[in-house]
Structure 1
Amino acid sequence: MTFDQAIADSAQFSKRHLLLGNGFSIACRADIFHYGSLFGQADFSAVPEVEAVFQSLGTEDFEVAIRALESASRILPAYVPTGAAAGAKMVQHAAALKEILVATIAGNHPNIPPDIPDDKFWACRRFLANFLAQDGQVFTLNYDLLLYWTLMHDDMPFDAPIPLATNDGFGNDEDEPDADYVVWQGETGAHNAKIHFLHGALHLFDSGTELKKYTWIRKGKPLVEQAREAINANAYPLFVAEGTSAQKKTKIRHNAYLYQGFKQLTANAVQGRHCFFIFGHSLAANDDHILVRLARGRFPKLYVGIYGDPTAPENRQIMSRASALAHQRHDRWPLDVSFYDAVSANVWGA
């Protein structure tokens, strides 16, 4: 069906929620946010061996390479009793790949919102209004700033602006209310948040005592520039780029902000009158920690975006994985899955 048909069909439910994957960012700037583009821009000079890892695996996906290195480090001792040093090196290189991924995204990210045409932001706000103007919530697995920029881009020259709920759970630091950053307000204070960065983001930094969100309006400096400066000083943003779903879940459980977002997803998934939309995600197994919450939920309807020919092998895989989620449901709470044409959503404009 078209996206508009899916939205019309979902009117039967009290709330609709949205889960975003990397396809959301690729749809805006494929030259930057596609894994292949990131791979081409990455600097592997500090760990040149990892390029051979990508080549051996036939991939440019950082998470696949990270997962392979971490898995190999665990099984190597069973085959090479003297391979402890090599295993340790694989673990080090996996960690280095995570930092390279963050640095590459920051290094190639658009510098400021005006680098993206206003029309794209306004189109995206129209898309998000189907959720954030209807008391729904948005959960994103992306690290970049596009969603945040869109939410802040509210200077529309229209007679009828597009209002969106933008509460992400951050506010003034009670000890330093005039600081050039805002901090996460904790589980209780962030209970009404509508925006959740489930895997962290470039503008979220863990200082050890609190989670800070860098802002442009407080510091007068582009967020990407702030992130680059922090990374150059060896301070990395809150970022979940672990190899496997289990590793991602472990990191999420050990961070209060990430775990709160995870719990919000779970809480909405068990609501019998809600529905979920997925845009830009392949439903791959490395995000099963998120997908299993949908499979074990009680919401009755899932709409999954399909990009391009639905008979293409990759889309058949997505459809099969979506059907598998439905098969995992308890008989008392069946899940109906429908597919919509992702292009028809016009997320960043026609």
Structure 2
Amino acid sequence: MHYDSFEEVMTALAKKKRKAHLLLGNGFSMAYDSSIFSYNALFDFVESLKDPLLADVLGAMKTKNFELMMEQLDAFSVLLDVLGGDQTLKAKVQIVHDGLRKSLIDAIKSLHPEHVFKVPDEKSASCAKFVNRFLETGGSIFTSNYDLLLYWVLMRQGIPSACDGFGRELLNPVEVENKTEEADWSVLRWGPNRSRQNVFYVHGSLPLFDTGTNVEKEQYDQEGYLLENISARINADDYPVFVTAGTGEEKLAQIRANPYLADSYDYLSSVDGSIVTFGFAFGDSDLHIVDALNRATHFPSKDVPKLWSIYIGVFSDADKARATALEKLMHAKVNTYDATTALIWG
């Protein structure tokens, strides 16, 4: 079934008294500014630098996972030392390592507004209102975007019901109890508010960093804006948790390798109600998302579907045709609506 407007979709879901979840794709960021947010923009930015050495290395590595690339370069450099390799070659490896790191930082800065307050207040408020309509139904927000837009909107507008699972933990509870020390709180870690989580970055996000023992979230502080803090961590060889381009299988492998991403994916695989999508293409590289939604349709048993229906925002006849083809893959009922009527950014 096709709905002529986003409001018709929300009205229909309200009548059914069903939870409405939101799945955002790259079209969410493109709707804000198509000139700076394009699909796989970070990797494309690095490729566009026309550095022949970087280009050759990127082509040889067969991966678009920046963190994995850096780890492979570091491991190769260590092996060169152990095996008595050519130090000239090691120097080239370091040049590539430093070049990729600088390129990633340059890309992040170039492909974002400078900070949250550069996003016009009316746009931020409009987006917050849109997102909150789903949270108010008891639904969740899922996004495959790793840029900062959604994080900025949630932070700036202060939606009380929005929770991404991160929080601070008291590091010295005994001393505080005994009144021998002031409270010492941890950095923002994923876990303390996991039970209330309703915002999921299913492909990671630039402010998220995996330390090996915790997944931490970078934030503003007195030292600098968020982009500056992210850049500082990358300069220290600490890389954000985000899934870059690749096949659905490659993306799922990256997801399963990280506890935060795996948990987010599993939550998507068990949603109850209906899902409304905006700007999500459901292309060949998104088959892992299709699989997650099909798992949700038959969760917890094949006899009791949990994900009842999907409402896909379409912008063109080509989008409608793709959604029609998608019906053959989806186990839940597939509907479409005119995405131009959503007016997320006002």
* TM-score normalized by the length of structure 1: 0.73
Contact 2:266/2:292 (<8 A) preserved: no
SS of 1:267's partner is: coil
Contact 2:163/2:198 (<8 A) preserved: yes
Which residue in the other structure is 1:277 paired with? 276
CA 1:211–1:227 in structure 2 vs 1: closer, same or farther (change >3 Å)?
Answer: same
Contact 1:107/1:228 (<8 A) preserved: no
What's the CA shift string for 1:271-292, capped at 9, x where partnerless?
A: 3xx1101111110121211121
Which residue in the other structure is 1:190 paired with? 194
Following superposition of structure 1 onto structure 2, how do residues 312-331 of structure 1 map, counting pairs within 5 Å?
Answer: 312=318, 315-326=319-330, 329=331
Q: Note the C-alpha offset of 1:134.
A: 2.1
- Residue 129 (1) aligns with residue 132 (2): yes
Q: 2:139 & 2:38 partners in 1: Cα distance?
A: 28
CA 1:258–1:99 in structure 2 vs 1: closer, same or farther (change >3 Å)?
Answer: farther
Q: 2:17 & 2:209 partners in 1: Cα distance?
A: 36
Q: 1:44 & 1:165 partners in 2: Cα distance?
A: 45
Q: Note the C-alpha offset of 1:18.
A: 0.7
Between the aligned residues of both structures, percent identity stands at 32
Q: 1:229 & 1:35 partners in 2: Cα distance?
A: 25
- Residue 113 (1) aligns with residue 111 (2): no
Q: Which of residues 306, 309, 313 is equivalent to 1:301?
A: 309
Q: 2:166 & 2:123 partners in 1: Cα distance?
A: 26
- Residue 346 (1) aligns with residue 337 (2): no
Q: Which of residues 33, 45, 59 is equivalent to 2:37?
A: 33
Q: Note the C-alpha offset of 1:114.
A: 1.5
CA 1:321–1:149 in structure 2 vs 1: closer, same or farther (change >3 Å)?
Answer: farther
Q: Which of residues 14, 18, 21 is equivalent to 1:14?
A: 18
Contact 1:172/1:178 (<8 A) preserved: no
SS of 2:260's partner is: helix
Which ranges in structure 2 are unaligned for 5 or more consecutive residues? 70-95, 173-182, 298-304
Following superposition of structure 1 onto structure 2, how do residues 42-121 of structure 1 map, counting pairs within 5 Å?
Answer: 42-45=48-51, 47-49=53-55, 66=64, 104-121=107-124
What do you get for the CA RMSD once the two structures are aligned?
3.0
Name which one, 1 or 2, has greater alpha-carbon Rg: 2
Following superposition of structure 1 onto structure 2, how do residues 89-238 of structure 1 map, counting pairs within 5 Å?
Answer: 104-154=107-157, 163-175=159-171, 178=184, 181-185=187-191, 189-216=193-220, 218-238=221-241
Q: Note the C-alpha offset of 1:318.
A: 2.6
Q: Note the C-alpha offset of 1:46.
A: 6.3
CA 1:66–1:237 in structure 2 vs 1: closer, same or farther (change >3 Å)?
Answer: closer
Q: 1:245 & 1:129 partners in 2: Cα distance?
A: 29
Partner AA of 1:202 in structure 2:
L
Q: 2:213 & 2:107 partners in 1: Cα distance?
A: 27
Q: 1:211 & 1:279 partners in 2: Cα distance?
A: 27
Q: 1:324 & 1:106 partners in 2: Cα distance?
A: 41
Contact 1:3/1:340 (<8 A) preserved: yes
**Range moving further from structure 2, 221-230 or 44-53:** 44-53
* TM-score normalized by the length of structure 2: 0.74
Q: 1:40 & 1:200 partners in 2: Cα distance?
A: 19
Q: 1:251 & 1:194 partners in 2: Cα distance?
A: 22
SS of 2:282's partner is: coil
Q: How many residues align?
A: 288
CA 1:279–1:118 in structure 2 vs 1: closer, same or farther (change >3 Å)?
Answer: same
Q: 1:151 & 1:278 partners in 2: Cα distance?
A: 19
Partner AA of 2:137 in structure 1:
Q
- Residue 245 (1) aligns with residue 248 (2): yes
SS of 1:153's partner is: helix
Contact 2:40/2:244 (<8 A) preserved: no
SS of 2:293's partner is: helix
Contact 1:66/1:98 (<8 A) preserved: no
Q: 1:105 & 1:265 partners in 2: Cα distance?
A: 27
Contact 2:166/2:194 (<8 A) preserved: yes
Contact 1:21/1:279 (<8 A) preserved: yes
